[in-house]
Structure 1
Amino acid sequence: MAILRLEQSDNQYTPEKLTLLTVHSSHTSRRHSVSVYNAQSTSKDLPVVILMHGVYGDHWCWMHLGGAHVVYERLRQQGLNEFVLVMPSDGGIGDGSGYLPLANGEDYDAWVTDDLRAAVTKTIDCVSAKSRWYICGLSMGGFGALRLGAKYPDNYRGISAHSSVTSIADLKLFTDVDEKLFTAKVLAESELLPWFIKAQSLPPLRLDCGMQDELYGSNLALSKTLNDAGIKHSFEAFSGGHEWSYWHQHLEDTLNFFNQIELGQ
């Protein structure tokens, strides 16, 4: 196991249903924080939804800027099945890691794929080796969700991306950090389409973007590229920009999408 050390919050001191983790990974030689919502459920083998943040962000953003737990609880009252929401840090390098295996040897792909799953399974009683995992992200996290979902299709039962960065070049819209920082260990690692083409069988895939978002054009182009390659997916365009009010609203689409997959199990 690549986890060197693991710290877990005490439930008596944290907000209801929330557990906080700090994971020291040998893949990155860094400490990573994780927010886990619905962590104290008494159910067993619950499905897990990973929610990945964008540039500048951290593990707390999905809840405390996007109200992910508020969306989840509202949908639960409407009949949504139980899920555990797992919200990891991307790794804390520069403005963002891209969730990539970087040329400097720090592997943020393995942090999400290996360490995150191991840490959550070890510490959260309602998650087990039998739990099904889903992956979602916004902006840079959307890029990460698309890339990791396509690269490791057997790990996930569904993939969703909101307002996704579709290439490393898109990050220039949000950060002045040298693009070379995001150079993967192998250059093709940072491209999306080769992973979709390479995958033998992909889980259900959806993406959406606001029509006022600066990434709308690149998301349209990605959808066309996937269509041209015969990659089955759905793309939805809504009113809205690159902003938390949009992601708060449309997280509902992701959770309902994953719920429908669960109902088909």
Structure 2
Amino acid sequence: MAFMQCDFFSEVLQISTSMNVLIPQQTKCQIGLKTNTRSEKHPTLYLLHGLSDDHTIWMRRTSVERYASELGLAVVMPNVDRSFYRDMAYGKKYWTFVTEELPQLARSFFPLSEKREDNFVAGLSMGGYGALKWAFRKPHQFSAAASLSGVMDVEGLGGRREVQLLDYPLIFGMPPVIRPEDDLFWLLENRRRYGEVTPRIYQCCGTEDFLYQENKRFSERCKQEPICFTYEEGKGSHDWAYWDQKIQDVLKWLFSEK
């Protein structure tokens, strides 16, 4: 895999940010690394970080470079700070940046496929929430989306110790306003407002995770809808031992119907 870190400034949205990108690369010199490259443009996974992390975390805490290399999959990992993938009430317009500007920028820099069937989104915790929100609101962009230990109940965030008091009003305003289009339960029920075809959805959470109950509740709601939905749970907490294992399962699942 070829690795690039890109720092750039959006004149339209006034955002200065970074992203890490993995590109499949044919090589015979990387010991212990299986490679799979394609002559055409690469299928792409947009891989989102959690609340306490940034665009570097997936490469620092997992072997995603090795896992993606075997599949010939490009991976785009953007930085959105602690925004919950939202146009912040007092801050940067990260939702607009990620969903509108980022794909265009990434494809202008690298040979990435524009086809819906070749594009996927996944994330952990805050990023799991962001991945599903992106898939429900922009279903024409992705064929599949995955949430690992995702935040399913964004309205309950303000009362959690995991979110510092400063962050919540910056993201959602003061007093906080949770719009319907930021609520995953509302988006699930109203997904056809955004498109007739919903991406395949994968959701997983460890049974020892503090987000387990809301993940269980969301999974039960998904099972009531006529969507292609996969849910997995098992022993695990809100940590990288769990996510390093589950991202491998996600990558296998992404290509299971291709």
TM-score (norm 2): 0.83
Aligned partner of 2:16 in structure 1 is 31
Q: Do structure 1's residue 250 and structure 2's residue 240 form an aligned pair?
A: no
Q: CA separation in 1, counterparts of 2:66 and 2:157?
A: 30
8 Å Cα contact 1:103/1:186 also seen in 2: no
Aligned partner of 1:180 in structure 2 is 169
Equivalent position amino acid for 1:106 in 2: K
Q: CA RMSD in A?
A: 2.2
Q: CA separation in 2, counterparts of 1:208 and 1:241?
A: 11
Q: Deviations over 1:133-165 (max 9, x none)?
A: 100000000000011111111110101000001
Among 35, 54, 78, the alignment partner of 1:88 is: 78
Q: CA separation in 1, counterparts of 2:92 and 2:152?
A: 22
Q: CA separation in 2, counterparts of 1:27 and 1:205?
A: 32
Q: What is the CA-CA distance between 1:114 and the residue it aligns to? A: 1.4
8 Å Cα contact 2:91/2:171 also seen in 1: no
Q: CA separation in 2, counterparts of 1:218 and 1:107?
A: 27
Q: CA separation in 1, counterparts of 2:225 and 2:255?
A: 27
Equivalent position amino acid for 1:201 in 2: V
Q: CA separation in 1, counterparts of 2:96 and 2:247?
A: 25
Q: CA separation in 1, counterparts of 2:12 and 2:122?
A: 22
Aligned partner of 2:83 in structure 1 is 97
Equivalent position amino acid for 1:29 in 2: Q
Change (3 A) 1:258 1:183: same
Q: Deviations over 1:204-247 (max 9, x none)?
A: 11100011111111100111222345544121002111001111
**Aligned-partner SS, 1:36:** strand
Aligned partner of 1:22 in structure 2 is 7
Aligned partner of 1:165 in structure 2 is 151
After TM superposition, the structure 1 stretch with the greater mean CA deviation from structure 2, 251-260 or 36-45, is 36-45
8 Å Cα contact 2:113/2:119 also seen in 1: no
Report matched runs for 1:170-209 at 5 Å: 170=157, 172-178=160-166, 179-183=168-172, 187-199=179-191, 200-209=196-205
Q: Do structure 1's residue 127 and structure 2's residue 112 form an aligned pair?
A: yes
Q: CA separation in 2, counterparts of 1:161 and 1:173?
A: 22
Equivalent position amino acid for 2:48 in 1: M
Aligned partner of 1:58 in structure 2 is 54
Q: CA separation in 1, counterparts of 2:221 and 2:206?
A: 19
8 Å Cα contact 1:167/1:190 also seen in 2: no
Q: CA separation in 2, counterparts of 1:27 and 1:98?
A: 21
Equivalent position amino acid for 1:195 in 2: L
Equivalent position amino acid for 1:234 in 2: T
Equivalent position amino acid for 1:84 in 2: A
Report matched runs for 1:151-162 at 5 Å: 151-162=137-148
| Aligned residue pair count | 236
Change (3 A) 1:86 1:235: same
Q: Deviations over 1:3-37 (max 9, x none)?
A: xxxxxxxxxxxxx6101111312464221111111
After TM superposition, the structure 1 stretch with the greater mean CA deviation from structure 2, 104-113 or 53-62, is 104-113
**Aligned-partner SS, 1:141:** helix
Aligned partner of 2:230 in structure 1 is 234
Q: CA separation in 2, counterparts of 1:173 and 1:236?
A: 26
Q: CA separation in 2, counterparts of 1:133 and 1:173?
A: 35
Q: What is the CA-CA distance between 1:129 and the residue it aligns to? A: 3.3
Using the aligned pairs only, state the percent identity: 25
8 Å Cα contact 1:170/1:215 also seen in 2: no
Among 95, 99, 112, the alignment partner of 1:109 is: 95
8 Å Cα contact 2:15/2:93 also seen in 1: no
TM-score (norm 1): 0.81
After TM superposition, the structure 1 stretch with the greater mean CA deviation from structure 2, 220-229 or 142-151, is 220-229
